[in-house]
């Protein structure tokens, strides 16, 4: 039995940016559904953090890239919680698999697009009543070499954000995207931060908690007139 009737779903909530968003949602009284693909132990760590702060939640395993898995998991949860409404959906799950286009295998194209863009569709469509925050990327605005797959995936979610925002605005539902630059998570663990930060005007990588703060603002009452926007958080790297 949940301690609250405010529910939020964070895809890829087991690690990195998704974990920080889950912790902050838990701290604001949401019962957080922490989705993950395969890392049950990390999802449990997120939940422990939420509970240590007095909140609660549950882990929800499914691969967002799979329509069948996403539908089955969401429908099963809804059947077990009749009348419960997921008020906030954060489409955060994402992967990168960088390679120049000339060497990009079909699987590298499809897995990256599948996770971010199909994942957005698979999770959003059954949960359209919820406030939506989509985690995209600087790469989806500017494009970065070696990331044709990732830039296409994130650029697609940006366009879908703008379209969907106009479809649901009358219902009081906002749909926004956050485009981070470089954030210190497992995803960027292989990047030479010391070298790269010379190019970042702010002189450092972003912390996952800073992205989470922005997400919390976008789902707050104060942001209720902001919709269809893509907000960059990149230390001045590109605006």
List active site positions: 150
Question: Closer CB to ligand NAP, residue 121 or residue 169?
Answer: 121
Report yes or no: 208 and 183 within 8 Å, Cβ to Cβ: yes
Q: How far is the CB of 58 from ligand NAP (least distance, A)?
A: 15
**Strand, coil or helix: what is 9?**
strand
Report yes or no: 31 and 25 within 8 Å, Cβ to Cβ: no
Question: Closer CB to ligand NAP, residue 169 or residue 196?
Answer: 196
Range 178-237, binding ligand NAP (CB under 6 A): 180, 182-183, 185-188
Question: Closer CB to ligand NAP, residue 169 or residue 233?
Answer: 233
Beta-bridge partners for 35:
60
Distance between CA atoms of 140 and 149, rounded to whole angstroms? 10
Q: Considering the rule CB under 6 A, would residue 12 count as an interface residue with ligand NAP?
A: yes
Q: Considering the rule CB under 6 A, would residue 37 count as an interface residue with ligand NAP?
A: yes
Lay out the site mask for ligand NAP across 107-146 (x = CB under 6 A, - = otherwise): --------xx------------------x-x---------
Distance between CA atoms of 69 and 221, rounded to whole angstroms? 32
H or E element that contains 71:
helix 67-80
Q: Considering the rule CB under 6 A, would residue 14 count as an interface residue with ligand NAP?
A: yes
Closest CA to 18 of 91, 114, 85: 91
Distance between CA atoms of 51 and 110, rounded to whole angstroms? 36
Instruction: Tell me which residues touch ligand NAP (CB under 6 A).
Output: 11-12, 14-18, 35-39, 42, 63-65, 92-95, 115-116, 135, 137, 180, 182-183, 185-188
């Amino acid at each position: 039995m949940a301690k609250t009737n405010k529910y939020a779903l964070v895809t890829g909530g087991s690690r990195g940016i998704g974990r920080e968003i889950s912790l902050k949602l838990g701290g604001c009284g949401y019962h957080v559904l922490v989705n993950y693909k395969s890392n049950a132990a990390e999802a449990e760590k997120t939940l422990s953090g939420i509970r240590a702060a007095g909140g609660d939640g549950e882990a929800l395993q499914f691969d967002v890239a799979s329509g069948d898995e996403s539908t089955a998991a969401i429908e099963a949860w809804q059947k077990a919680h009749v009348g419960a409404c997921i008020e906030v959906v954060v489409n955060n799950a994402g992967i990168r698999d960088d390679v120049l286009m000339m060497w990009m295998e079909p699987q590298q194209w499809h897995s990256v697009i599948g996770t971010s863009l199909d994942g957005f569709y698979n999770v959003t469509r059954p949960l359209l009543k919820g406030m939506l925050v989509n985690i995209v990327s600087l790469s989806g605005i500017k494009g970065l070499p070696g990331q044709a797959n990732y830039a296409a995936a994130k650029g697609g979610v940006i366009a879908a954000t703008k379209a969907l925002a106009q479809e649901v605005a009358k219902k009081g539902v906002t749909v926004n995207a956050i485009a981070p630059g470089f954030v210190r998570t497992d995803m960027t663990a292989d990047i030479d931060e010391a070298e790269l930060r010379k190019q970042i005007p702010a002189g450092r990588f972003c912390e996952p908690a800073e992205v989470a703060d922005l997400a919390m603002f976008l789902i707050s009452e104060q942001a209720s007139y902001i919709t269809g926007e893509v907000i960059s958080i990149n230390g001045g790297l590109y605006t």
